[in-house]
Amino acid sequence: ETDPHRILCTSRDCGVAFATAIMHVMEGVLDLKPAMIFAQELRTFHAYRQTLNSTHFSLRPSADLQDLDEYIEYRRNEVNIA
């Protein structure tokens, strides 16, 4: 039989291990270089979504932005994330 207490403890241990690992990644402890810059990743995503002819969500995050280039510039210059 499966011991529910043991499953609970194992699940908690896994959650703690994951939280510890992701904290190191988010803080840059592993000193990993991104595989691509944000603009490249976003362009790749847009190209992929267009090949699917997906229409269930807008590729523009706001109606105020005319296109992908304007969004990338906004992220780079206004909110300084890209």
Ranges under pLDDT 70 in the chain: 1, 28-35, 80-82
Give the up-direction half-sphere exposure of residue 11: CA atoms within 13 A in the CB hemisphere.
Answer: 6
**CA distance linking residue 26 with residue 36, whole number of Å:** 16
pTM exceeding 0.85: no
Sign of the Cα torsion 69, 77, 64, 47 reads: positive
Altogether, the residues listed in the chain come to a count of 82
Q: Reduced to 3 DSSP states, what percent helix, strand and coil does the chain have, rounded to the nearest 5? A: 60, 0, 40
Q: Note the pLDDT of residue 82.
A: 45
